[in-house]
């Protein structure tokens, strides 16, 4: 447990939430969902700084005053994913390596999320894999075998407002990443799809963003069900562009070819593809 300078902080649960979300510095989180706490004494000053950092993250909704008032406390309890907002991990390590990024396998055992039917859950999982795979060179592939998949999702009883959590990619092709979705929540198809996309993007290596036009905002907004501009840029930075570019469509018209360094490329008429001359 964290202990506090007594009488200063009564709001133990809120402070522990801030700790789990990585708001204390130096942050001792390693990017994994933290549910236990170190035996560290935190002063009132430390706590105020942590509260202020949290308010800064949500500055469009909260006043930044370092006070753990009712609005901030209620906000901490709102529906969110339980991956730390502040992740101490080198950006370059928080990704799948190039040599395995084309075939990251993903399995799920989410059939106990009520009141959804199995087929709705299966569809949400497949839709999320597809929408993430199309934005960059990383490919998420459906996998039946729960013991073999790179990313495996299951249900569990999670505390507070937590909807789900995921481990983050860590630069290794062999580490299997676990995800948990809260079975004690009431789910809708749209909510599940949003949360699956959010958690899978964590498993791709992405952290949270304070930008509200983003599916990686730590609280569920109900506005997005696929990666937005911020996420697409993060994915492209890590994995490069998707191989399935629009020029691969069957409608494209080849108007010639050219040879560069002994390799032959087709020249595609821009009016038949994505508006730019392509060499494929």
Q: List interacting residues with Zn ion (CB under 5 A).
A: 81, 83
- Nearest CA among 212, 244, 249 for reference residue 229: 212
Q: Decide whether 4 or 19 has the Cβ nearer to Zn ion.
A: 19
Distance in Å, CB of 89 to Zn ion, minimum:
14
Nearest residue to 74 (alpha-carbon basis) of 187, 219, 215, 249 = 219
| Beta carbon of residue 78, minimum distance to Zn ion (angstroms, whole number) | 13
The Cα 17–Cα 1 span in angstroms is 12
Q: At closest approach, how far in Å is the CB of 202 from Zn ion?
A: 6
Report CA-CA distances (Å) from 112 to 32, 155, 220, 239: 24, 7, 21, 33
**Residue of minimal CB distance from Zn ion?**
81
Closer to Zn ion at the Cβ: 42 or 208?
Answer: 208
CB closer to Zn ion out of 18 and 83: 83
Q: Which is nearer to Zn ion, 83 or 110 (CB)?
A: 83
* Least distance to Zn ion, CB of residue 208, Å: 5
- Nearest distance in Å: CB 81, Zn ion: 3
Least gap, CB of 241 to Zn ion (angstroms): 25
């Amino acid at each position: 447990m964290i202990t506090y300078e007594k009488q200063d902080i009564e709001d133990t649960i809120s402070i522990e939430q801030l700790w789990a979300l990585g708001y204390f510095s130096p942050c001792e989180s390693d990017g994994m969902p933290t549910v236990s706490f170190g035996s560290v004494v935190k002063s009132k000053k430390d706590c105020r700084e942590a509260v202020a950092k949290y308010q800064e993250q949500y500055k469009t909704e909260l006043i930044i005053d370092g006070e753990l008032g009712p609005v901030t406390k209620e906000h901490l309890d709102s529906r969110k994913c339980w991956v730390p907002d502040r992740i101490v991990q080198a950006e370059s390590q928080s990704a799948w390596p190039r040599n395995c990024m084309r075939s990251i396998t993903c399995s799920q055992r989410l059939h106990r999320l009520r009141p959804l039917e199995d087929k709705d859950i299966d569809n949400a999982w497949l839709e999320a894999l597809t929408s993430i795979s199309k934005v960059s060179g990383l490919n998420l592939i459906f996998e039946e075998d729960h013991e073999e998949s790179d990313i495996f999702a299951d249900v569990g009883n999670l505390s507070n407002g937590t909807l789900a959590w995921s481990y983050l990619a860590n630069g290794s092709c062999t580490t299997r990443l676990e995800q948990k979705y809260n079975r004690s929540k009431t789910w809708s198809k749209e909510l599940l799809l949003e949360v699956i996309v959010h958690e899978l993007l964590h498993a791709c290596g992405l952290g949270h963003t304070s930008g509200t036009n983003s599916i990686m905002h730590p609280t569920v907004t109900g506005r997005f069900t696929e990666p937005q501009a911020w996420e697409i840029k993060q994915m492209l930075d890590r994995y490069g562009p998707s191989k399935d570019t629009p020029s691969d469509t069957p409608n494209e018209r080849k108007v010639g070819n050219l040879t560069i360094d002994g390799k032959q490329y087709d020249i595609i008429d821009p009016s038949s593809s994505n508006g730019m001359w392509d060499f494929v």
